[in-house]
Amino acid sequence: MYAVIMAGGGGTRLRPLSTADRPKPFLPLLGNETLFQRTVARVRDLVGGDVAVVTDRRHAAHVRAQAPGVTLLEEPLGRNTAAAIAFATVALDRSGDEVMVVLPADHVIADEDRFREVLAAAGSELAAGAYGVADPLVTLGIAPDRPATEYGWLLPDPDCVGGGSIGGRPLLRFEEKPVRERAAVLLATPGSAWNAGIFLWRRRAIRGALAAFAPDVLDAVERAYTAGSLGADYPAIRSTSIDYAVMEPAAAAGRVLMGRLEAGWSDLGTWSALLAALGAPGTGGVVESGREVIAGPDDLVVVAAGGRWTARPGDGRGMVADAPVAVLRGARAGLGIVEALLERCAGEEVRP
């Protein structure tokens, strides 16, 4: 088993703290380590140190500084997760039988021991073949607790009782980020789960699936890598997610299995989620440049100026944002926690 971590992103959901040049994975949001560093540490022992990171070239310096022992695969620019995974299957020479674990760099896991147990079980109970599927693609699902519209959803076979230590079942369908009404229906559907974006598969299984469902992506990556022309040819590769390009059609073809991940997962995808993880009160969201900002005395407004961030209470008067800001509703009582967060993220590059 070896691990491939996808590290990058546009840095939009936690603006102004997160930016395109230093997105969420490379920030020390919850302590002295960054989310990326914690992701590497979480899986390193499980895979015997065989960890590779696929990242946009502009983030390569962060990867080198924060995790110098990993194998670095630099994309000339990000072309979404299908290309990143295809790149890993081409650039990393492994046996076709070996199980590849694919993880985002920016998740938080409360119970890391259980997380490793789930990955090990998914590799042995599912990725090696189960439920009549010889070389399945395996995805991990999160038990939903609300009608979330920010996540994709997984719908397993309702006629199959989950088996093994992680409730493995054939997956019938991926459903991407539904509207709220549809999310409520999905929440009430037995067995449904949020898509964690964590996958396991044998190397030959994902290469075969890419060849079947996204041959243009795999062929383009392979040609560019073999010819040493990534810089020239990579930008022309179709930008698409692994979910749309491969997992959705593969599920429809009966080639995907799902396991349950119950280990205290969060993707810290919003200011509200970050505040909760920090133990601070309130909810929050990003207000884009050119929009009106109205914040009261119990609220905080996080603004960026001169490469630094400040959090200030609102005054109840409206203003038009001249750059993206975060408005944290009801967070005034947690001002000290928010200020400590901003101070950590304003420091020098986090190193091992």
With vertex at residue 217, the alpha carbon angle to CA 214 and CA 220, rounded to the nearest 5 degrees, is: 140
Whether residues 171 and 286 share a domain: the answer is: no
Whole-number pLDDT of residue 269: 86
pLDDT value at 176 more than 90: no
pTM of the model: 0.93
pLDDT mean across residues, the chain: 93
Confidence of residue 20 (pLDDT cuts 50, 70, 90): confident
Tell me, yes or no, whether 15 and 34 share the same domain. Answer: yes
Neighbours of 98 (CB within 10 A): 15
Give 181's contacts (C-beta < 8 A, 6+ positions apart): none
Domain co-membership, 199 together with 234: yes
Per DSSP bridges, beta strands 99-104 and 2-7 are parallel
Rounded CA-CA distance 340/336 in Å is 6
Quick check: 205 pLDDT over 90?
Answer: yes
Q: Indicate whether 25 and 129 sit together in one domain.
A: yes
Q: What is the pLDDT of residues 275-315, one digit of tens each?
A: 999 999 999 999 998 899 989 999 999 998 877 899 999 98
- Whether 351 is covered by a domain: the verdict is no
pLDDT above 90 as % of the chain: 82
Asked if the structure places residue 8 within a domain, the reply is yes
* Residue 347, CA distances (Å) to 38, 62, 222, 244, 277 in order: 18, 14, 39, 38, 21
pLDDT attached to residue 313: 93
- Indicate whether 41 and 101 sit together in one domain: yes
Name the DSSP class of 144: -
Residues 253 and 113 in one domain: yes
The domain boundary residue, chosen from 266, 293, 314: 266
Task: Look at residue 130 and tell me if it is in a domain.
Answer: yes
Q: Which domain holds residue 84?
A: 2-266
Q: What is the pLDDT of residue 289?
A: 87
User: What average pLDDT does range 329-338 have in this prediction?
Assistant: 96
Backbone φ and ψ of 191, nearest 5°:
85, -10
Instruction: Assess whether pLDDT exceeds 90 at residue 101.
Output: yes
Choose the final residue of a domain: 249, 266, 283: 266
What pLDDT is stored for residue 351 in this prediction? 75
Are 79 and 197 found together in one domain? yes
Residue 352 lies in a domain: no
Are residues 209 and 303 located together in one domain of the fold? no
Residue 97 lies in a domain: yes
Whose tokens are 């015997």? That residue is: 48
Are 76 and 149 within one domain? yes
At 11 the pLDDT is: 74
pLDDT at 119: 97
Which amino acid type is present at position 148? Answer: A
Q: Is residue 338 part of a domain?
A: yes
- So what's the pLDDT on residue 159? 85
Q: Which positions ≥6 away from 51 have C-beta within 8 Å?
A: 2, 3, 5, 40, 43, 44, 67, 69, 70, 71
Q: End of a domain among 266, 294, 328?
A: 266
Would residue 350 count as lying in a domain?
Answer: no
pLDDT in tens, 265-281: 998 889 999 999 999 99
Question: Closest Cα partner for 4 from 45, 68, 55, 38?
Answer: 55
Contact 153, 174 (CB under 8 A): yes
> What confidence category does residue 318 fall into, taking pLDDT thresholds of 50, 70 and 90?
confident
Asked if residue 257 and residue 187 are part of one domain, the reply reads yes
Count other Cβ atoms within 10 Å, centred on residue 84: 24
> Is the same domain home to 37 and 101?
yes
Distance CA 41, CA 30 (A): 15
pLDDT at 126: 95
User: What CATH number corresponds to the domain at position 164?
Assistant: 3.90.550.10
Convert the pLDDT of each residue in 216-263 to its tens digit: 999 999 999 999 999 999 999 999 999 999 999 999 999 999 999 999
Domain membership flag for residue 94: yes
The pLDDT tens digits of the residues spanning 132-171 come to 999 999 999 999 999 999 889 999 998 887 778 899 999 9
pLDDT value of residue 165: 87
Q: How many separate domains does the chain show?
A: 2
Clarify whether residues 120 and 249 are in a common domain: yes
